């Protein structure tokens, strides 16, 4: 089972842009890439979803290259409240299962 990997942690300061990358070289052909945010003692919360190129909503952008073997979640101008763990979720072509990434713990400093 191929792993969906992310950096373990990232630090940033308020007002900066943060880019979190997920590597998913075994992604299923027709599956979307979805990102979630999780605060302590809460379930994950949906942020954004995309299939290819770029998707933007009111909280984030998602960049997906043509080969779809990775994706980058971009958080513009982070604030302290963006301190959380971020997970990507993709379909695995080998097992036809949805796999959560290893998670990235983002710490935002004042």
Partner 1 sequence: SAVISQKPSRDICQRGTSLTIQCQVDSQVTMMFWYRQQPGQSLTLIATANQGSEATYESGFVIDKFPISRPNLTFSTLTVSNMSPEDSSIYLCSVGGTSSSYEQYFGPGTRLTVT
Binding site for partner 1 (CB under 8 A): 31-32, 34, 41-46, 49, 87, 89, 91, 97-98, 100-103
Confirm if 2 and 92 have CB atoms less than 8 A apart.
Answer: yes
Write down the least CB distance from residue 61 to partner 1, Å. 17
Write down the least CB distance from residue 15 to partner 1, Å. 28
Write down the least CB distance from residue 75 to partner 1, Å. 19
Write down the least CB distance from residue 33 to partner 1, Å. 8
Give the distance, in angstroms, between the CA of residue 7 and the centroid of all CA atoms in the same chain.
10
- Which residues neighbour 5 within 8 Å (Cβ) at sequence distance 6 or greater? 22, 23, 101, 102
Instruction: Using the structure block, give the residue that is written with the tokens 């995309």.
Output: 50
Paired sense of beta strands 84-92 and 104-109, if any: antiparallel
Pick 12 or 102: Cβ nearer partner 1: 102
Pick 42 or 81: Cβ nearer partner 1: 42
Confirm if 103 and 6 have CB atoms less than 8 A apart.
Answer: yes
């Amino acid at each position: 089972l191929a792993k969906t990997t992310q950096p373990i942690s990232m630090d940033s300061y308020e007002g900066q842009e943060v880019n979190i990358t997920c590597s998913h070289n075994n992604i299923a052909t027709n599956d979307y890439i979805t990102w979630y945010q999780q605060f302590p003692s809460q379930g994950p919360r949906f942020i954004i979803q995309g299939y290819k190129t770029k998707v933007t909503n009111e909280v984030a952008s998602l960049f997906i290259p043509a080969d779809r073997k990775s994706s980058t979640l971009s958080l513009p101008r982070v604030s302290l409240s963006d301190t959380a763990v971020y997970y990507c979720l993709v379909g695995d072509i080998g097992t036809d299962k949805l796999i959560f990434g290893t998670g990235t713990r983002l710490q935002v400093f004042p």
